[in-house]
Amino acid sequence: QSKELSQARIDYHVALQSLQEHGTRMVCTGKMHTDRICRFDYLCYSSEAEEFVFFHSNSSVMLPNLGSRRFQPALLDLSSVEDHNTQYFNFLELPAGALKFMPKPVFVPDVTLILNRFNPDNLMHVFHDDLLPAFFTMKQYSDLDDEARLVFMEGWGEGPHFDLYRLLSSKQPLLKEQLRNFGKLMCFTKSYVGLSKMTTWYQYGFVQPQGPKANILVSGNEIRHFAKALMEKMNITKQDEAEKDGGSSEQERERDKKDEYIAVFSRSTTRLILNEAELIMALAQEFQMRVVTVSLEEQSFPSIIQVISSASMLVSMHGAQLVTSVFLPRGATVVELFPFAVNPEQYTPYKTLATLPGMDLHYIFWRNSKEENTVTHPDRPWEQGGIAHLEKDEQERILTSTDVPRHLCCRNPEWLFRIYQDTLVDIPSFLKVLKDGMKSKPSLKKTKIATTVHPGRVREAHCQTSVQTPNEAKLTVSWQIPWNLKYLKVREVKYEVWIQEQGENTYMPYILPQQNYTFSENIKPFTTYLVWVRCIFNKNLLGPFADVLTYSL
C-alpha cells in the first residue's frame, strides 16, 4: 500500500524541501470548534505517537491562531456529532527543524478528508453521521473529488457497511490502524479535517433527551440528491422513472398502480415482529398490493435499495434500518412500529427524516399498547436490554412501568429493556392506525405544484398621508410586485403589511390581496408610523420585508 501512495505523482525532494522550509499551513472555517473544518498543507501523522503533527517554520500559517484555547476543549469535532468529548481533533506541534532527527516522512499525494466515523456498526449512524456529512463536505471543497482519499481516525475496523463508505470516492478509504503501514511519519500533502454538520437532523441525547436538532438546515432535496448519487454508484436504476415523470397515459398509470408494492424491513435477531407473516397478509389484503420483505441479514445492501427505491410503503420496527427511507420515492409512506412502553414521540430520528420539508414522505407510527403482546428479554446482556444485573427493586420497578421516562443516551437500562422487546403486532389496531393515517396523506400532485421559490422584496413602496379631521387620518400604502414574480406561476400572491406606531412595540398586521391599501382604522393624526410590506406566495412562502417606510401624520 505504501507503494501505491509513494508513486511518482509528487516529487519527493520538492515535497520534503517544502515541508522543511514552509512547515505546515492551516486555514479553517468556523468560529467554534463545533462548526470548524480545517484545510492543511503538509499535516503530518506520527503512527508511533498516534498523533497529528503541525511543523512550525517562519512561514507556517495557523488560522485560527488560538494559542492554548486550542485545547478548550479542542480545535474541532472530528465526527459530525456535536461536541462529543471522544471525537475531538487536535495536533502536536514541533519546529520544522526537528524533521532532521525524525524518520523520513512518507508523503500522501491524494487530497485527503480526515474524519471520525461515529458508529460504523449501525446503519442509521453510518448514513446520518458519516455518509451524508462526508458527501456534502466533499461538495463544499471541490478538490475533494472522486479521487479524494478518506481517512477514518476513530480506530474501528471496517465494519459491516464499509462498501457504502467506498462509494464516496474511487480510492479505498484508510483506517487508523492502516496508517502505520506507511511508516512512522506520514505527511498529507493536502488535507481537510472535520465534517460538515449541515445535513444532520437528529441529536442522540448526550446532553438532553434525544430529539430533532434545534436548527435543522437540510431539506429533502439535498437528502434526495445524495441518495440519487449513491444509487448511481450502486448501479441501481429506478424502473420506469422516465415514463412516470413524462405525462404517462391512462393505461400506463393503471399498470404502474398494479406494480405498486409494500416493503417490510424485517429484523431477524432483535426487536422482532413475532407475527410477521400475519402482518404481511394483512397489508396485502388491506392495500391489494404485493408485499416484499427485505432484511440486512439476508440481502446485499444494493438489492435492498433496489426494492425500497420503488416501494409505495415501507413498514418496519423502529431501528437503524429505517434510515433507508432516504431511498423511498417521493409520495411513499413510512410506517414505524414501536414496542410496548416506548413513546414514539420521544424517539423520532425517522419521523424527522420523513417529514423534512421536500422529503415528500408520509409518516405513520404504530405503538404496541398491549402488554400481553410483548416478549421481554430480562436475562440478556445489558446492552441488549437485560436487567438481571440490576437490584431486585429496580428490576421490579422497570417490569411494572408502562412508559419509559425521558432519559439521556445511551445506557439507560429501562430504555434498553423496552426497546429490545419483541412484539406480536395486534393486526386490528395496526390496520386502524394505518387506515386513519392514510386519510391524511397528501396527494403528491398537490405537493409537486407547490413551489419553493420565495418572493423577492416588494418594490417602490410608497405612503401617502392625509389628515381628515383633528381625530381622523388616512394612510395609503402602495407598492410594486417583487421582481421575480413576473417569471413565476404562483397559485396565490398576497401581501402582508405591518403598521406600527413609533415608540410602540406592537404592530397591526394586515394580509392583502392587492398592491395598495388605504388604512384609516386606528390611524391618528400627529403620529409617526412605521410601515413594513412583504410578499407571500401560496400562504406560507414568506419574502423579505422591504425597507421600512416612516411616515408622520
Residue number with CB closer to ligand UDP (269 or 400) = 269
Nearer to ligand UDP, 96 or 294 (CB): 294
DSSP, collapsed to helix, strand or coil, labels residue 179 as helix
Closest to ligand UDP by CB, 274 vs 450, is: 274
107 or 415: CB nearest ligand UDP: 415
User: Minimum Å distance from CB 94 to ligand UDP?
Assistant: 41
Closest separation between CB of residue 263 and ligand UDP, Å? 14
By CB under 6 A, residue 122 contacts ligand UDP: yes
Residue 332 · residue 315 · CB < 8 Å: no
Gyration radius (Cα) of the chain, Å: 29
Query: Judged by CB, which is closer to ligand UDP: 268, or 502?
Result: 268
Residues whose CB falls within 8 Å of the CB of residue 178, separated by 6 or more in sequence, listed in order: 1
> H helices of 141-275, where?
162-166, 220-233, 241-245, 250-259
388 phi and psi angles, rounded to 5 deg: -60, -25
Is the Cβ of residue 76 or residue 164 nearer to ligand UDP in the bound state? 164
Q: Residue holding cell 417606510?
A: 549
Site string for ligand UDP, 354-373 (x = CB under 6 A): --------------------
Q: Closest CB to ligand UDP among 296 and 434?
A: 296
Task: Name which of 224 and 267 has its Cβ closer to ligand UDP.
Answer: 267
For position 339 contacting ligand UDP by CB under 6 A, the verdict is no
Query: Which residue's CB is nearer to ligand UDP, number 424 or number 541?
Result: 424
Minimal distance, residue 384 CB to ligand UDP, in Å? 8
Q: Binding of ligand UDP at residue 236 (CB under 6 A)? A: no
Q: Is the dihedral of CA 202, 206, 208, 214 positive or negative?
A: negative
Q: And the C-alpha cell for 179?
A: 496508517
Min dist. Cβ of residue 265 to ligand UDP (A): 8
Q: Using CB under 6 A, which of the segments 119-127, 137-145, 303-311, 486-494 binds ligand UDP? A: 119-127
Tell me the number of residues near ligand UDP by CB under 6 A. 12
Please state, in angstroms and rounded to a whole number, the distance separating the CA atoms of residues 210 and 349: 9
Task: Give the three-state DSSP class for 530.
Answer: strand
Residues 304-323 that bind ligand UDP (CB under 6 A): 319-321
Scanning 118-126, 242-250, 253-261, 427-435 for contacts with ligand UDP by CB under 6 A, the matching segment is 118-126
The yes or no reply on residue 153 touching ligand UDP (CB under 6 A) is: no
Query: What whole-number distance in Å separates Cα of residue 412 and Cα of residue 310?
Result: 37
Q: Give one word for 23, left, alpha or beta, with left for phi > 0 and alpha for psi -120 to 50.
A: left
Cell triple for 429: 389496531
Decide if residue 385 touches ligand UDP (CB under 6 A): no
**Cell of residue 278, nine digits:** 400475519
Among 223, 234, 296, 311, binds ligand UDP (CB under 6 A): 296
Give the Cα separation of 456 and 544 in Å (integer).
Answer: 7
The contact mask relative to ligand UDP for 257-286 (x = CB under 6 A, - = no) is: ----------xxxx----------------
**C-alpha to C-alpha distance for 401 and 149, rounded to whole angstroms:** 50
Q: How far is the CB of 317 from ligand UDP (least distance, A)?
A: 8
**Burial readout 192-209 (b: 16 or more C-beta within 10 A, e: otherwise):** bbbbbbbbbbbbbbeeeb
CA distance 285 to 536: 45
Contacts of 470 (CB under 8 A, 6+ apart): 525
The binding site for ligand UDP (CB under 6 A) comprises: 122-124, 267-270, 296-297, 319-321
